[in-house]
Structure 1
């Protein structure tokens, strides 16, 4: 592909507080030389036209099928709810388009595997939005570990709060409480953060798990309804990484008045703590503290200033922008730097193992 901007078409872009508007659009604005957003398809032509008008886009497509078939679109970005990923991503791949799909890639492991196989057969760039992997703090942390800052890693502990999956929600997020939709505490906030953890420390070897539902119902504030909850609001995982390091994880629904993200790495020569405002490690600004050698406590550790130079100041948009930059490189140079659909399958496999382990424990 030439150095002309890569033309982007969104399936699922609405003005306001929606994810594509608050994360993707600012990210792409920072990469004007690489990308041009040219169109949108939503649930109706009227909705698409509203978004096109709001963002000054030249094309409002009547259907997602019209968008993926358009010669005006090079990269299809799918930012709708998880149950619709498989159908829409399949259509984009069959049309021969590059694809950026939000995480989770599919509603379960089987869908993710089918999409990864199709993407490879089509020979396109197919990236998944596990953007914590490319956060400057995570890249810096990975280098610290590789350079031996903590020596040999002995153990790691992760605690996080999901924000949703608590006692109250709204109609827009009510689908998260039905586990059949594939958008759970395990798959979204913990899944995103596991992508970062494995980027730094490697994959899992043995694990055991429990998925516990402590709240049988949730109040939907804007409708006044009370609906049943089938998705777990407590996720417990323990075991060992492939390196042999011990691992312990507890994610809980809602928000805590205390700790909402704390990731510790303990080694033979030092210790590191990573913290944030919520358990969504892909979104929040991460803070790193560490100590090694003769140090008796922890002190701030920060990536070099160059790691943030030229990127959006907000961590949410910054991490998404850094992923888009990798997609541009992969499309133009034939490289494989962005988290791929095959990488997504590996993460889906971990989540499936956690679910299966919990099912065995419950027997």
Structure 2
């Protein structure tokens, strides 16, 4: 499958760190085209990654006959129309997360992709983390018995001085704030392991009201939340809670707890990384102590020496090449966007929200 990567760069960026190394390691793929912010930067990226074609205009990449799959690795505010254009051109498409600014917009993209018969994937690849997969199977196989409750807490540091290129993070209208990005990734991991919310109540708060732009010293007002707290019920009927907290000194990272009639599973991380945390999974039964559960080798895709984020993205590409209708696809994105929209509605109205 011949791939064109929008957002490619020779020395920096998410595509350079994750997508391009993942593609380069897969024999089912050939990197044939790249698009960057200028023809010069695209040409440099093409030289590094061995692409035949380099474009400053992503629309040229999308329409090129040598491209079968379009990878869109640019931030949502700079992505207007690209997913639609790829679908209209009959190309398979792998879009970074968030897919859209709302569930309604994500539903429209999913419908377009299905109608066009193209394969589609979204950048919620952390559900392929080996420890998440192992936790999912342990819960499903009854390791803790009937699940009574589950919780996710995610604490990460956040500076109050940021580069201007991250300014969109603090504008709630841009769709790339902590709720969408941090919340979307972490809640998708949580839901894939323990089941999805069917109803939820939420509170949002902004505790850091202003941040400073590093390059100019300008202070801007923060309109997006940095504290996200939600409680509700899962598909199984189990009670569940989510608390995502950002700001202040270094956080403790992920902590997922699953409480069942027969025991408790705890998944925690040694750092607050969002893109590739190292997890420890442990189990405690009713009478025994706590036992660390190493992740079996069968959950770790080969080769295993790549960084976790590269391994996770590589698995998404493997599924795309095989035509396997496996999440995360645009329907995964729709579900996660619906949850985010429900959290926003609940925080605004004070009313409990029901999810289909």
Please tell me the TM-score bracket, short chain as reference. Answer: over 0.9
CA distance in 1, matches of 2:180, 2:207: 18
Matched, 1:245 2:238: yes
Matched, 1:224 2:213: no
* Distance apart, 1:172 and its partner CA: 2.1
SS of match in other structure, 1:337: coil
Matched, 1:26 2:21: yes
What is aligned with 2:350?
A: 361
What is aligned with 2:183?
A: 190
What is aligned with 1:269?
A: 262
CA distance in 2, matches of 1:107, 1:258: 27
Matched, 1:156 2:150: yes
> Is contact 1:162-1:189 (8 Å) kept?
no
> Is contact 2:271-2:278 (8 Å) kept?
no
What is aligned with 1:113?
A: 107
Matched, 1:305 2:305: no
CA distance in 2, matches of 1:356, 1:248: 17
Which of 317, 320, 339 is equivalent to 2:313? 320
> Is contact 1:190-1:280 (8 Å) kept?
no
> Is contact 1:189-1:281 (8 Å) kept?
yes
SS of match in other structure, 1:132: helix
CA distance in 1, matches of 2:74, 2:272: 21
What is aligned with 2:354?
A: none
TM-score with structure 2 length normalisation?
0.93
Greater alpha carbon shift after TM alignment, 247-256 vs 74-83: 247-256
For residues 122-161 of structure 1, the aligned pairs below 5 Å read 122-161=116-155
Q: Displaced runs of 4+ in structure 1, greater than 6 A?
A: none
* Distance apart, 1:16 and its partner CA: 2.6
> Is contact 1:149-1:292 (8 Å) kept?
no
CA distance in 1, matches of 2:161, 2:267: 28
CA distance in 1, matches of 2:189, 2:250: 24
> Is contact 1:131-1:320 (8 Å) kept?
yes
Alignment deviations for residues 88-144 of structure 1 (CA, whole Å, 9 cap, x no partner)? 000100000000001111122222111111101100001111112222211111110
SS of match in other structure, 1:273: strand
* Distance apart, 1:320 and its partner CA: 1.0
What is aligned with 2:59?
A: 65
Task: Give unmatched runs, 5+ long, in structure 2.
Answer: 352-356
CA distance in 2, matches of 1:255, 1:87: 37
Q: How many residues align?
A: 350
Task: Give unmatched runs, 5+ long, in structure 1.
Answer: 1-5
Matched, 1:336 2:331: no
SS of match in other structure, 2:321: helix
Query: Structure 1 residues 355 and 342, CA, compared in 2 at 3 Å: closer, same or farther?
Result: same
> Is contact 1:211-1:232 (8 Å) kept?
yes
RMSD of the alignment, in Å?
Answer: 1.8
SS of match in other structure, 1:179: coil
